[in-house]
Chains A and B, each alone.
Chain A
């Protein structure tokens, strides 16, 4: 790393730490775009309080965090007004560091001039630092996700799978990432987008890894059950992502749909929405079998778009990961349109939320419309990333030629 990069990272983290301790309005912690019922800080505090007073936090409807967070924050790392901002900034710093490591592993270089830029694009991305200021546990999920990818890039299978198993404890949809991350551990993370080659599956290596992942998940699940003393937590945490019991508005696409739906259609559409998330894994992993890091990136984009309880962190993670794939930039078809949709969406989301819930002059449809714009922005980014990722392989075109999509 050159001199400026050396300084850039600590400076960025220091700036973020200052921001975390800045006197910000308390309303941020209750903002529906920054924390969902599954990641809200105030609900976490309430759960810990109940737990420490001998009441099962999962017997009510408010607490939906994983028991691992419960045990972690009620014993080793107590949450106080002083520790929490430090913990959350540290989570973001670790995530940014992991992202820089992924970039270095991808280029094969020890230090590059873009290191500082990549860290800045993560730490200063408003979609990432705002949820972190609101102390939403989605920041911790992003960190675990990037750690899992980073270890997978390094070929450290056990660490990667353990990080992924922890992530699945916090957020069930992350299980979608198991396939590309396992495949990433057995391949190399260097960019092969320009030179696609068929991948010959090494089942002998993959199956034990899959078993290891299942083993870690089982272990953590067992530990959680021991912590809670019963199985109630499964329904309250993992079950929530499948049955959507809490319809608090969020920037995702699920809540409004299920608010409006008649009850007898609910189970069917819950199944459709959940299964729909699964159908992307195989096609993306097959199409990008030469570059599983890219497949992981795209699946993160799919999750950010279609997850049941997203916060701004999820699209933020996807967008910040664009920084480690500079080879696709010349082939993006409509980056400025995507950027403009995101600009509009990020202004409309808080505005329509307050028109509906604070000023009272709007209604739920206003906010829903803004989440649709936001979904369009994320969808445009995802589609463009898929196109550009495939288009790289064709390379520069000769005079009079053009690439078409069949």
Chain B
């Protein structure tokens, strides 16, 4: 017993060193603090480098894993399909009618009434719903048609939606008609009515316009109101919608089935749904699937080459490089949708109500597939959705689909943005510590602050001294810039701005660059014994930005990654100018930041218009986010460079 205690004591002594344990602890803490402080530039550099390299490596063929079905109840592709040439003929007949309607420029009402009559012919109750949105660009109106096929086998508490919009998603709703998509839904309605095996209500929706019609229908279905929307109430009701399939078939025939999945505000559907559809498509019907409409040039020589022409030949033929290029294209497109919070198709509107939905896009081609293949895919997919006993929950909600059949889990891509955020956090904390200390020449006793605890015994000439850090002023500056961001958002969402965007854009840019510039003259200068306001502002700005990046990354990775790219280095490199620097140098730096913050007002008028439309009609918070969060953060960095220290 005693021996054991002795051994323990010796071990302790060896670990802790001789003497007073408290002194040893202090020594240890000091050494650690010094090590961290000395290593901070290296840690920052490492975090930034690893973070950005990780972002670049995301499309690498070494990452990612194969998709699989997680929910056992789905049982995709386990049924015989009976959709046959008779149904295809019926779809062709409907298509002829629709083409006639198109050719004589039928009104929205006429088309909707035609659809309702067709549904009623099959014995499915159907109604129309007219709606209109007031937007700053004018009124949008239209008429939806929908029919509800009551589940013969169940109480109708759950439902599946099969929808097609009048306009195809081609060119993000550039006006191409989705006639074959609409015919498919109608023919499918007649065909599915024959079966008694449905355990869920089937709701068929033919929505008008591209996104606006479905927004009116789905928000009315869920009893949501929107101040600028007027929509007729729905007279036919059904249950809780679990899944929705949206059909987009703009061409004459199709070669591949493209899957579009991004929803509003970056929400993604459960992966099980798209995996099931793609499995059915590939193995039951033998239609190859794609992510979006990206046909791989390795399969189809007629597709434009993804790799730049200047690349040396050996690289062009390297499989890994080719795979990288193809995955990068998919990721870039995904980020483009997700970061802007935009829906990549009509399916995206369902996500806001917790409905998992995708768009099945028939990629236009001269062949070989048509109504026959699409009908079978849909029949089998609906049977699979019909098997569900609870909402889709088993598979992934956070993923990057890098190639058809390959995806990345959240853990393999999230750290990239988080690491950049952490690097900014460390920079901010470093700035905060740096602002709190100053070197005073020897012999001059300071009047302010606590005597240094960090005094270095080696260097007796100079002394580290604590100094006061202003907190209220930088916080006030930050709050004011964010308030200015709110004003900016209110301004650009006026009808005046929309009407005169060509002039209003530059005017707004100049105005919002000038206001902080003028206001900066009123910022008081901190006394020379205190830390300067810009140095503390930089610390807070970096810490706040890092919090924004890390937190957004969970909600919308693409947005966080975009922020990491746009804000990471620029905000870190903003530094309070030395007091000797001329005003012109400071103003030049400030102007550069103002371009980064507000340049989009002048350079991307079309993007701005779209973002505001998305906010007005679909409640996508990208536009307010940019105005209220992004712009002020960059302006703060500009002020760091501008304010005299």
Chain A positions within 8 Å of B, measured between CB atoms, are: 330, 336-337, 340, 343-344, 347-348, 351-352, 355, 358-362, 396-402, 404, 406
- CB-CB under 8 A from B550, the residues of chain A are 344
**A387 → B minimal CB distance (Å):** 14
In the complex formed, the residue of B with least CB distance to A337 is: B429
Q: Are B26 and A404 in contact (CB under 8 A)?
A: yes
Closest chain A CB from B21 CB (angstroms): 9
Residue of B nearest to A334 (CB): B429
Neighbour of A396 across the interface among B354, B391, B451, B555, CB < 8 A: B451
In the complex, which of the residues A336, A337, A343 has the most CB atoms of chain B within 10 Å of its own CB atom? A336
Contact A361 B397 (CB under 8 A): yes
Enumerate chain B residues within 8 angstroms of A351, measured Cβ to Cβ: 551, 554-555
Q: Is the CB of A396 within 8 A of B22?
A: no
Q: How far apart are the CA atoms of A30 and B612 in the complex, in Å?
A: 30
Q: Is the CB of B555 within 8 A of A355?
A: yes
- The reply to whether A336 and B429 contact each other, CB–CB distance below 8 Å, is yes
Chain B: minimal CB distance from A241 (Å): 32
A396 and B450 in contact (CB under 8 A), knowing A344-B550, A347-B547, A402-B26?
yes
Q: In the bound complex, do residue A361 and residue B268 qualify as a contact, i.e. CB atoms below 8 Å apart? A: yes
| Residue of A330, A344, A358 touching B551 (CB-CB under 8 A) | A344
User: When chains A and B are docked, how far (Å) is the Cα of A404 from the Cα of B547?
Assistant: 32
The answer to the question of B203 belonging to the interface, with a C-beta cut-off of 8 Å to chain A, is no
C-alpha gap A397/B555 in the complex (Å): 47
B287-312 CB contacts (< 8 Å) to partner A: none
- Residues in chain A near residue B397, CB distance under 8 A: 361-362
List 13 extra interface pairs beyond A351-B555, A362-B397, A404-B26, CB under 8 A. Answer: A336-B429, A336-B432, A340-B425, A344-B547, A344-B551, A351-B551, A355-B555, A359-B351, A360-B354, A397-B453, A399-B455, A401-B453, A406-B22
> Are B543 and A336 in contact (CB-based, < 8 A)?
yes
Please tell me which one of the listed residues B22, B354, B391, B425 contacts residue A359 in the complex, with CB atoms under 8 A apart: B354
- The answer to whether B25 has its CB under 8 Å from any CB of chain A is yes
Residues of A within 8 A of B25 (CB): 404
Q: Across the two chains, which residue of chain B brings its CB closest to A117? A: B472
Expressed in whole angstroms, the minimum distance between the Cβ of B247 and any Cβ of chain A is 24
Which of A344, A358, A361 touches B398 (beta carbons < 8 Å)? Answer: A361
Q: Which chain B residue lies CB-closest to A395? A: B450
Of the A-B pairs whose beta carbons lie under 8 Å apart in the complex, a sample of 14, sorted by A's number, is A336-B429, A336-B432, A337-B429, A344-B547, A351-B551, A351-B554, A355-B554, A359-B354, A361-B267, A361-B398, A397-B453, A399-B455, A401-B453, A404-B26
Cβ of A8 to closest chain B Cβ, rounded Å? 15
Within 8 A of A (CB), among B385-434: 391, 393, 397-398, 425, 429, 432
Task: With both chains docked as a complex, state the minimum distance between the C-beta of B81 and any C-beta of chain A, in angstroms.
Answer: 31
Q: Mark B426-468, 1 if CB is under 8 A from A, else 0.
A: 0001001000000000000000001111010100000000000
Q: Is B517 an interface residue, CB under 8 A from the partner?
A: no
B621 within 8 Å of A (CB atoms): no
B600: Cβ under 8 A from any A Cβ? no
Tell me whether B544 is interfacial, beta carbon within 8 Å.
yes
* Top 7 A-B residue pairs of the complex, sorted by shortest distance between their CB atoms: A361-B397, A404-B22, A360-B354, A347-B551, A402-B26, A343-B547, A344-B547
Chain B residue numbers with a CB within 8 Å of A348 are 551
The number of chain B residues with a CB under 8 A from chain A is 29
Q: Which residues of B contact A360 (CB under 8 A)?
A: 354, 391, 393
- List of B residues within 8 angstroms of A396 by Cβ: 450-451
What is the CB-to-nearest-CB distance from B408 to chain A, in angstroms, rounded to a whole number? 16
Q: Complex Cα distance A405/B452, Å?
A: 19
Distance between A331 CB and nearest chain B CB, rounded to angstroms: 9
Interface centre among B391, B452, B555 (most CB of A within 10 A): B555
Establish whether residues B451 and A340, one from each chain, have CB atoms under 8 Å apart when the complex forms: no
- Judge whether B547 and A340 touch: CB under 8 Å: yes
Q: With CB as the reference atom, state the residue of chain B lying closest to A339.
A: B543
Residues on A with C-beta less than 8 A from B544 are 343
CA distance A400 to B463 in the complex (A): 12
Task: Annotate B552-567 by CB proximity to A: 1 below 8 A, 0 otherwise.
Answer: 0011000000000000
Chain A residues contacting B26 (CB-CB under 8 Å) are 402, 404
Q: With the chains together, A347 CA to B452 CA distance in Å?
A: 36
How many angstroms from the CA of A361 to the CA of B394 in the assembled complex? 10
A360 to B268, CA, bound (A): 11
Give the residues in chain A near B23, CB-CB below 8 Å: 404
Q: Which residues of B contact A344 (CB under 8 A)?
A: 547, 550-551
Chain A residue with the shortest CB-CB distance to B352? A359
Q: How far is the CB of A361 from chain B (nearest CB, A)?
A: 4
The answer for the CA separation of A399 and B457 in the assembled complex, in Å, is 10
Asked whether A400 lies within 8 Å of B457 as measured between CB atoms, the reply is yes
Residues of A within 8 A of B432 (CB): 336
Interface residues of B in 38-84 (CB under 8 A from A): none
The CA of A401 and the CA of B452, in the complex, are separated in Å by 10
Expressed in whole angstroms, the Cα–Cα distance for A396 and B425 within the complex equals 30
A337 nearest CB across to chain B (Å): 8
Q: How far is the CB of B443 from chain A (nearest CB, A)?
A: 14
- Expressed in whole angstroms, the minimum distance between the Cβ of B71 and any Cβ of chain A is 15
> Shortest Cβ distance from B357 into chain A, in angstroms?
13
| Chain B: minimal CB distance from A117 (Å) | 9
Near A by CB (< 8 A), chain B positions 187-204 give none
Residues of B within 8 A of A343 (CB): 543-544, 547
A399:B391 contact, CB within 8 angstroms: no
Mask of B537-549 contacts with A, CB within 8 angstroms, 1/0:
0000001100110
Q: Which residue of A lies closest to B429 (CB)?
A: A336
A330 B554 Cβ-Cβ under 8 A: no
B451 touching A397, Cβ below 8 Å: yes
User: Is B429 touching A402 in the complex (CB atoms < 8 A)?
Assistant: no
Instruction: Across the interface, name the chain A residue whose C-beta is closest to B539.
Output: A336
A227 to B22, CA, bound (A): 60
Give bound CA distance, A351 to B552, whole Å: 9
Instruction: Write the chain A residue with the least CB distance to B548.
Output: A347
User: Which of chain B's residues has its CB closest to A404's CB?
Assistant: B22
Residues of B within 8 A of A362 (CB): 397
Residues of chain B within 8 A (CB-CB) of A358 are: 354
Q: Which residues of B contact A400 (CB under 8 A)?
A: 455, 457
Q: What residues on A are CB-neighbors of B393 within 8 Å?
A: 360
B469 and chain A: residue at smallest CB distance: A336
Q: How far is the CA of A351 from the CA of B265 in the complex (A)?
A: 13
Please, how many angstroms separate the alpha-carbon atoms of A397 and B451 in the complex? 7
- Proximity string of chain B (14-50) to chain A, C-beta cutoff 8 Å, 1 when within and 0 when not: 0000000011011000000000000000000000000
Inter-chain CA distance A397–B452, complex, in Å, is 8
- Residues in A neighbouring B453, C-beta threshold 8 A: 397, 401-402
**Smallest distance from the beta carbon of B399 to chain A beta carbons, Å?**
11
Q: Which residue of A lies closest to B425 (CB)?
A: A340
CB distance from A307 to the nearest CB of B (A): 26
Min Cβ gap B469→A in Å is 10
Interface residues of B in 343-382 (CB under 8 A from A): 351, 354
* Shortest Cβ gap from B80 to chain A (Å): 33
A352 and B548 CA atoms in complex are apart in Å by 14
A116 to B: closest C-beta gap in Å: 13
Complex Cα gap A73–B186 (Å):
58
Report yes or no: B267 in contact with A359, Cβ–Cβ below 8 A.
yes
For chain B, residues 141 to 158, give those with C-beta under 8 angstroms from any C-beta of chain A.
none
Find chain B residues with CB under 8 A from A361 CB: 267-268, 397-398
- Which residues on the B side are within 8 Å of A355 (C-beta)? 554-555
**CB-CB < 8 A to A398: which residues of B?**
451
- How far is the CB of A330 from the nearest CB of chain B, in Å? 6
- What distance in Å separates the Cβ of B461 from its nearest Cβ neighbour in chain A? 14
With CB as the reference atom, state the residue of chain B lying closest to A343.
Answer: B547
How far does the Cβ of A335 sit from chain B's closest Cβ, in whole Å? 9
Q: Which of A337, A360, A397 has the most CB of B within 10 A?
A: A360
Q: Once bound together, how far apart are the Cα atoms of A399 and B450, in whole Å?
A: 11
Cα distance A53–B551 in the bound complex, in angstroms: 47
Taking CB atoms, residues of chain A closer than 8 Å to B451 are 396-399
Q: How far is the CA of A359 from the CA of B270 in the complex (A)?
A: 12
Decide: A340 near B543, CB < 8 A? Known: A359-B354, A399-B455, A404-B25: yes
Contact partners of A330 in chain B: CB under 8 A:
450
Q: Which residue of A lies closest to B452 (CB)?
A: A399
- With CB as the reference atom, state the residue of chain A lying closest to B551: A347
